Chain A
Amino acid sequence: MLRTNLSTRPFYNERAVHALLGLAALVVFAVSAWQIQRIVTLSRHKTELNAAITRDRNEVASLAQQAGNVRRGLNQQDLKLIAAEAREANQLIAQRTFSWTALFNELESTLPPDVMLISIHPDIKEGKTNVAMEIQGRRTEDIVDFFDRLEKTGHFRDVTWSQETVTDDGLLRQAMNAVYVPEPAGGRS
């Protein structure tokens, strides 16, 4: 049997080559289409973004100008004066609405039998009430007991004494301070 290929142009599978070339053309076409679609989409998106940025910049400039106009219309001296007046008025209202009755109720329930309240002066500043008191007692133990009782109510803290004298009768007279946190209005049943 003769096995030698005597043809000058040996056979190859031309249909397979065409199929491969067709497939490659299809892929190239698909990639080209994707790229074109991407360019269109990105260009459109970029245009929209640039338009939005320009719009926002214009709005920022406009708002800054309006805020500037509003502020220029305000007299800073007037503003400071009104702020100071409002602070003063709030301070006075806080002093006026301070309940002495509630304070006396608290003190009455905490004063030991041998301690007497001599004077009391609440000072309300920025929502904090400091109560300066003068008390008189027979023994140091009674006064310390009063301090403990005050703090146990939960309405007094930072109880400190600043001065102590002994009266002619041998009684201890002490100036003291405490931060008073009154029970909110309507807190008691």
Chain B
Amino acid sequence: MTITQRIFQEKRRLILPLVIAVIANVVAYAVVVFPLGRQVAAAEQEMQNQRDVLRRARQDFELARATVTGKQQADISLRRFYTDVLPPSSSAAQRVTYLRLAQLARDANVHLERGANAITHEKNSTLSKVSTSYTLSGEYRDVRGFIYSLETAPEFVVLENVALSSDQQSQRGLSVQIEVATYFRSSDGS
């Protein structure tokens, strides 16, 4: 019997529990600790994914709320635009393109020689358009002054087109044809 065999023989009451404890530790690591570590890693990954899903859900909810808020704000702004900025009716719109333009022309020392007026309704729109074309005459700087006063006037008037009229030089200087437009909410669209 070698010395080692003798030591194992004589100390087996101490060695055996130690060997059992080592085997138990290995089994515990293989069966419990390692799989548990894997499960925790998987749970961490899943939680991360779930956080992303939650973040997207929060964004989606905020977007839905923002849509409602945006719709309400747009609605208020549009009502204000239709009632406070645009002329309220066709007669008010025609006053802008007829009376107001005549006043501005007089102030700018240009002469409105002839005009034409038309009301059209845009398809898929709640707005009607009052288009007015005028032939006006005056000195170049006065025509420029008239255009400036038109674009800085508080009324909602859009200057759409400016052209020298066919008789480019009239007795009063330059002859210019302008097309202006304003809009109002049609009664059937309000």
Binding site for B on A (CB under 8 A): 10, 12, 17, 21, 24-25, 28, 31-32, 35, 38-39, 42-43, 45-46, 49-50, 52-53, 56-57, 59-60, 63-64, 66-67, 70-71, 73-74, 78-79, 82-86, 88-89, 92-93, 95-96, 98-101, 104, 116-121, 134
Contacts and interface: CB of A to CB of B under 8 A. Distances in A.
Contacts of B29: 35
Contacts, number: 155
B46 A53 contact: yes
Contacts of B63: 67
Tell me what chain A mostly uses at the interface: helix, strand, loop, or mixed: helix
Contacts of A101: 144, 147-148, 151
Given A12-B7, A32-B21, A85-B78, A121 B67 contact: no
A100 B162 contact: yes
Interface string B109-122: 00000000000000
Closest 3 CB pairs of A and B: A119-B163, A49-B43, A63-B57
Contacts of B99: none
Interface of B: 3, 6-7, 11, 14-15, 18, 21-22, 24-25, 28-29, 32-33, 36-37, 39-40, 43-44, 46-47, 50-51, 53-54, 57-58, 60-61, 63-65, 67-68, 71, 74-75, 77-78, 81, 124-127, 144, 147-148, 151, 156-164, 183
Contact of A52 (B28, B47, B53, B161): B47
